[in-house]
Structure 1
Amino acid sequence: MTKNKLIKLGFIMAAAMNIGGVLLFSRFFTNSMINELDPVVMSNFGLLMIVIWGLAYLASAFITSNIKWLAGAFVIEKLVYVVAWSLWLANNNLDDVYDKDVFAGIFYSIYGLNDFVFMVFFAWVFLTHIKAPKR
């Protein structure tokens, strides 16, 4: 697989994780437990903004000019979520979350790891100065 195809696939996967993950685990914004456990970051508005970030990743997959600085912005965005998740984990017990709601438990178990993986991916795109694939 060429680097350009890998970049396009990475952006599409990031979009799918943001959009699909939020819609699945929030049960299309009806899982109030996610909101209650982190009412600032994971309010329904916050979850909607995560979906919007996913749409931005999806749109980025089809940009045919240099995406270096856009990827750099995504690195910072993902870092913010990784830090927020780490602070949340330091102050909460996942076992208690699973006892209340399995979907919320899974969500809070994986969202920061997911964001870390894509932060590294976006950093790789930024640092390698690769232009988006031409089609």
Structure 2
Amino acid sequence: MTINNKLISKGFILAGIMNCSVLLFSRGFTNKTINTYDPDVMSNFGMVMILIWGLAYISVAYKFQNVKWLVFIFAIEKLIYGYVWLQWITTNDVSIVYDKDKMAGIFYSIYGINDWLFCVFFLFVFIRLLRQQ
């Protein structure tokens, strides 16, 4: 199966949109429940940085072939967030978050899965770019 560059570009845009969804889950950075359950990673500053990463993905969607090492950095960034989420989800009770705020509960349930999926995507794109040299 061959994945063309148009589809890869859409993947970058989707990754960006998913990161920008932090605005929805945080209700424009006003949902304090998200901050409360992981204040180091999910402070308002942390969520702004998630938004910035998302905009970075979108910014290279049609030029990803020219920034292969940046694509690799994207994969590393997603790996780190995925790992942090795995640690969080295995040491916290997400049902408590749901009881406090459903949007925050949904956010904590899915953000790491999203990060792992896009880690694989960015790694795939990076390896593909390396092989094209």
| CA drift at 1:63 | 1.6
Name the counterpart of 2:113: 113
* Distance (Å, rounded) in 2 between the aligned partners of 1:67 and 1:7: 14
* Distance (Å, rounded) in 2 between the aligned partners of 1:2 and 1:128: 10
| CA drift at 1:65 | 4.4
Q: Which amino acid aligns with 1:104?
A: A
Q: Which amino acid aligns with 1:12?
A: I
TM-score (ref. length: structure 2): 0.92
Q: Is the 8 A contact 2:65 2:129 kept in 1?
A: no
* Distance (Å, rounded) in 1 between the aligned partners of 2:92 and 2:49: 23
Name the counterpart of 1:39: 39
Superposition CA RMSD, Å: 1.6
Name the counterpart of 2:75: 75
* Distance (Å, rounded) in 1 between the aligned partners of 2:64 and 2:53: 19
Instruction: Specify the SS of the correspondent of 2:63.
Output: coil
Q: Which amino acid aligns with 1:33?
A: T
Structure with more relative contact order (C-alpha pairs < 8 Å, separation 6 or more): 1
Q: Which amino acid aligns with 1:9?
A: K
Number of aligned residues: 130
Q: Assess, with a 3 A threshold, how the Cα gap between structure 1 residues 18 and 64 changes in structure 2: closer, same or farther.
A: closer
TM-score (ref. length: structure 1): 0.91
Name the counterpart of 1:8: 9
* Distance (Å, rounded) in 2 between the aligned partners of 1:99 and 1:64: 41
% identical aligned pairs: 57
* Distance (Å, rounded) in 1 between the aligned partners of 2:18 and 2:79: 16
* Distance (Å, rounded) in 2 between the aligned partners of 1:14 and 1:33: 24
Instruction: Specify the SS of the correspondent of 1:128.
Output: helix
| CA drift at 1:17 | 0.4
After TM superposition, what 4+ stretches of structure 1 lie above 6 angstroms from structure 2? Answer: none
| Range moving further from structure 2, 78-87 or 60-69 | 60-69
| CA drift at 1:8 | 0.5
Matches within 5 A, 1:1-135: 3-19=4-20, 21-63=21-63, 65-129=65-129
Q: Assess, with a 3 A threshold, how the Cα gap between structure 1 residues 125 and 65 changes in structure 2: closer, same or farther.
A: closer
